[in-house]
Amino acid sequence: MIIAKDLGKTFLTKQSKVEALKDFTVEIKSGEVVALLGPNGAGKTTTVRLLSTIYRPTTGGAIVGGYDIITNPIDVRRTIGIAPEQPSLYPRLTARRNLQFYGDIYGYDKYKLSGRIEELLELFDLKEVIDRPVSSFSKGMRQKLSIAKALIHNPSILLLDEPWSGLSPHATKELRQLIKQLAEGNRTILISTHNLAQLELIVDRILIISKGSLILDSSPAELRTKFHVNPHLKLKIEGNKELKSIVDDLDYIVNVESLGNGEYELEIKSFENTPDLVKSLVTSSIRIHEVSEINPSLEELYLTLVSE
Amino acid sequence: MDFRLVYILFKKELDEIVRSKYVLFSLLFMPAFFFILSVTSTIAPVLSGTTGEADPLFSSLKFTDNWNELSIQQKFFIISAEMGIMMLLFLPLILPNVIAADTFAGERDRGTAEGIVASPLTESEIYLGKICGALLPSLIPFWLFMGLYAITIDYYSKDVLGFYYYPNIRFVLFFLFLGPLFGFATTNVMVWVSTRTSTSRDAQQLGGLVIMPLIFILFGTFVMAIMLSWKVLLIVILVLIILNYILGKIGMSILDRENWIK
Ligand SMILES: Nc1ncnc2c1ncn2[C@@H]1O[C@H](COP(=O)(O)OP(=O)(O)OP(=O)(O)O)[C@@H](O)[C@H]1O
Ligand SMILES: [Mg+2]
């Protein structure tokens, strides 16, 4: 559980004063998976660092995993696992030695720890490179190892700061799958990112911050209804059959737009309705060339929100 | 202070050092260089017989009990040996520079500081672990080459003096106290410098600048002390212990999680 109240951080440099985070108030329940969304410089890293007691807040405070970040920082650090924006791994040491170092800090006994390391590297598909120095790792491998490092002591709270920065589409997809897996347990996860598309299907809740202020806090579904944004389907069918008459009596179809040449863009209430839609088309003997999900809408919504 | 955590960090530091060719090279090359320099500047002139005129200074010194009965060559041999040792005492002043810059500023450069700072280690545990991690690897080559030096001197001193010159009280004090205390002092200064610079290269350069005057001050008083007697050395050691205690206290209070990762 994470409770933040009026959490704020101001940096004083010689030339200027930067309010990196202002009055951040939020309550994240145990087991919730939350996206912390915002453009570059919004204050995401500052928030993560405040919650992990790396930074001392200028104003307000927070309780993380039951411990106060100001009066009890060491217990907070024992409770959380963190994968910082820049993977905190020793390039000259092997993957195993890196994890060992952190495992030792959390007081694992030797045998349990080596089991835990193997198990984690298995999960993250890094078992083959376990004894290779991290300097030989690709960016994706480092990112995965960094998350494995954060999980070494099986923390109940996981903080991930931009886990997919600089990853290839393939690595991104793989990592998303992994995070989804981690989210299934009863772990509280806070993921900072500026890329909503990666998270939409994983998270329970979205926090959007911009210029240090929390400007939105809601679930993905709420967000859609609130702003009337529904998922879209792209559909390509045989010839010039008229689609409108068939889908008209399907109540989950919100809007149909013809793009010509048998191509349509359908606004649909949820992707869960896709199988039923396909079934209806098949029953009406319509040959389907292509059905694909397009889901740019939340991302677009987010972009307009933060640019305001 | 949890010494188990200090030890874990210390072990990690050592693991990193043995895997850095640059650091390892510095740790071996510099001592070897100083060793050769001190050996050639002590024994070579004595053995080749270029001992020169008796300096008035010679008779005012008293390195052994039977100093006045020694020949000029013998006196020259002993004084050269003592000077050579002082050259080796530069090692603990220089070597921690390389490692401390690599561990403190280096961790920030490589982004690994954030991981430590977000772990349950406290500032003082981090500080102590890092100091030990920089100090011990620099003392090992120091001890090694001191030992080699003593053996080399002894190899010739049997002929020249008729007895093994080392180890003597002064050597033991250098070996066990002055060297490590010098090392501790520079390590502290380096850590302080490393927390203030943005890259490990800057840290090394600035560290060199800051340590230079320190070296001269220490050596100034130190050379005087040597000329006097080992009893005065004990006082120097005492002063160094107090100085180190203060430096350590200051260093610990200077290390700040927030500033370190910036
Ligand atoms: N140590 C610091 N000193 C001074 N200013 C800082 C410091 N850290 C962050 N800032 C400023 O605070 C603001 C928020 O920075 P932060 O790193 O939290 O953003 P972010 O959302 O993580 O951005 P990004 O997506 O680029 O990682 C920025 O304007 C940044 O310049
Ligand atoms: Mg950031």
- Taking residues A19-40, what's their average pLDDT? 94
The overall average pLDDT reported for chain B is 83
* Assigned token pair, A17: 């004063």
Asked if B153 and B165 touch (Cβ cutoff 8 Å), the reply is yes
For residue A44, the ligand 1 atom closest to its alpha carbon is: 21
Say yes or no to pLDDT of A245 above 60. Answer: yes
Ligand number nearest CA of B260 is: 1
Instruction: Report pLDDT for A82.
Output: 96
Helix axes B123-160, B72-88, angle to 10 degrees: 160
Lowest mean pLDDT among A30-39, A51-60, A297-306, B227-236: A297-306
Percentage of chain A surpassing pLDDT 70? 93
Q: If you measure CA to CA, which chain A residue comes closest to B6? A: A105
Nearest to B70 by CA among B200, B145, B157, B190: B157
Q: What is the SS3 assignment for B115-139? A: HHHCCCCCHHHHHHHHHHHHHHHHH
Say yes or no to pLDDT of B38 above 90. Answer: no
- Taking residues B188-203, what's their average pLDDT? 76
DSSP for A141-157 reads: HHHHHHHHHHTTT--SE
Q: Do B16 and A74 touch (CB under 8 A)?
A: no
* DSSP-assigned letter for residue A167: -
β-partners of residue A237 are A288
Asked if A73 and A85 touch (Cβ cutoff 8 Å), the reply is no
Instruction: Report pLDDT for B146.
Output: 94
Contacts with A109 from chain B: Cβ below 8 Å: none
Say yes or no to pLDDT of A259 above 60. Answer: yes
- Taking residues B149-168, what's their average pLDDT? 88
Q: Do B114 and A53 touch (CB under 8 A)?
A: no
- CB atoms under 10 Å from CB of B213, counted, come to 9
Q: If you measure CA to CA, which chain B residue comes closest to A55? A: B258
Atom 12 in ligand 1: residue holding the nearest Cα:
A20
Say yes or no to pLDDT of A130 above 90. Answer: yes
Q: In the structure, what pLDDT confidence band is assigned to residue A64 with cuts at 50, 70 and 90? A: very high
Instruction: Report pLDDT for B52.
Output: 56
Say yes or no to pLDDT of B92 above 80. Answer: yes
d(CA A128, CA A109): 24
Instruction: Report pLDDT for A51.
Output: 97
Percentage of chain B surpassing pLDDT 90? 26
Instruction: Report pLDDT for B221.
Output: 63
**Predicted confidence (pLDDT) per residue in A66-114, tens digit:** 999 999 999 999 999 999 999 999 999 999 999 999 999 999 888 899 9
Measured at the CA of A264, the angle between CA A263 and CA A265, to 5 degrees, comes to 140
**Predicted confidence (pLDDT) per residue in B51-71, tens digit:** 555 555 566 666 777 777 777
Instruction: Report pLDDT for B54.
Output: 54
Say yes or no to pLDDT of B202 above 80. Answer: no
d(CA B200, CA B206): 10
Atom 29 in ligand 1: residue holding the nearest Cα:
A41
Interface residue of B5, B110, B122, B255 to substitute, partner A, most A CBs within 10 Å: B110
Q: If you measure CA to CA, which chain B residue comes closest to A79? A: B120
Instruction: Report pLDDT for A73.
Output: 96
Ligand number nearest CA of A42 is: 1
d(CA B152, CA B39): 8
Instruction: Report pLDDT for A296.
Output: 53
**Predicted confidence (pLDDT) per residue in B105-120, tens digit:** 888 888 899 999 999 9
Instruction: Report pLDDT for B250.
Output: 86
Q: In the structure, what pLDDT confidence band is assigned to residue B49 with cuts at 50, 70 and 90? A: low
- CB atoms under 10 Å from CB of A155, counted, come to 19
* Assigned token pair, B18: 């043995």
Higher pLDDT, B214 or A262: A262
**Predicted confidence (pLDDT) per residue in A5-18, tens digit:** 999 999 998 888 99
Nearest to B117 by CA among A49, A87, A189, A43: A49
